[in-house]
Amino acid sequence: MTDISKSPARIAGMFDAIAGRYDFLNHLLSAGIDRRWRRAAITSLALTGRERVLDLCTGTADLAIAARASTPRAARVVGVDFAGAMLRVGQDKLLHGGLADRVTLVRGDAANVPVCTMSVDAVTIAFGIRNVERTADACAEMHRVLRLGGRLAVLEFAIPSTPLIRAGYLWYFNHVLPRIGRLVARHQAYEYLPASVGAFATPDEFVTLLRKTGFREVQARPLTFGIVYLYTAVRGD
């Protein structure tokens, strides 16, 4: 049975081990669709060009970069992650893309965010919330740092409900993806991935958690036949 324990040290170590191949495998294993998912998340924020955006579990900063590269784009972006090697890859991308002056990467934990209360206009997190050991604490932190009326966008994998799509997805997720991951990354992280998705909250459960945290206008939008969900919300009082 695959170990799905989520201590910060274990998760950070796992992602540090695959940092050099992370972006390549993301694009390969999703057939490039991951870029479309990120664009959908940034579009949902309805940016005007003045916003300060916080990207949690930023990894190699793809979503942080998307927030700055969109039209309109975020005025400032801060990316937070506890995997140092992932942040170094992200920092190299920022330097090569000329974005380092407007996107800042900080090492930190999503369950204890190093950002002041009500100091950002939007919070994003892509494929990271299921890796946080204390999910409720991370949701509370996202609510805390957002200003009143600030927007939240969360991307996360899910198990499709349509029987045929579900069967094909589970076969790919449980058999094809781990083998490619082991071959390219030479690490068991891509065995953890399908196990962690199966163990995470269902879309309805996660929506309920966000509402209990204090978010309003919470919506769960399935993308690509429901293999990914885009959760959006607004910070209430």
Length of the chain, in residues: 237
Our count of domains for the chain comes to 1
Task: Indicate whether 2 belongs to any domain.
Answer: no
Task: Indicate whether 3 belongs to any domain.
Answer: no
Task: Indicate whether 102 belongs to any domain.
Answer: yes
DSSP 8-state symbol, 133? S
Task: Indicate whether 184 belongs to any domain.
Answer: yes
80 within 8 A of 8, measured Cβ to Cβ? no
Domain that holds residue 190: 8-235
Q: Per residue of the chain (237 residues), what is the pLDDT tens digit?
A: 566 678 888 888 888 988 988 898 888 878 899 999 999 999 999 999 999 999 999 999 999 999 999 999 999 999 999 999 999 999 999 999 999 999 999 999 999 999 999 999 999 999 999 999 999 999 999 999 999 999 999 999 999 999 999 999 989 888 888 888 777 767 677 788 888 888 999 999 999 999 999 999 999 999 999 999 999 999 987
Task: Indicate whether 45 belongs to any domain.
Answer: yes
Six token digits for residue 118: 């009500």
pLDDT for the residue 43: 98
Q: Identify the CATH number of the domain in which residue 94 sits.
A: 3.40.50.150
Task: Indicate whether 13 belongs to any domain.
Answer: yes
pLDDT for the residue 148: 97
Q: Which residue has the tokens 């579009």?
A: 43
pLDDT for the residue 236: 83
- Across the chain, the runs of DSSP E, i.e. the strands, are 52-56, 76-81, 103-107, 120-126, 146-157, 215-223, 228-235
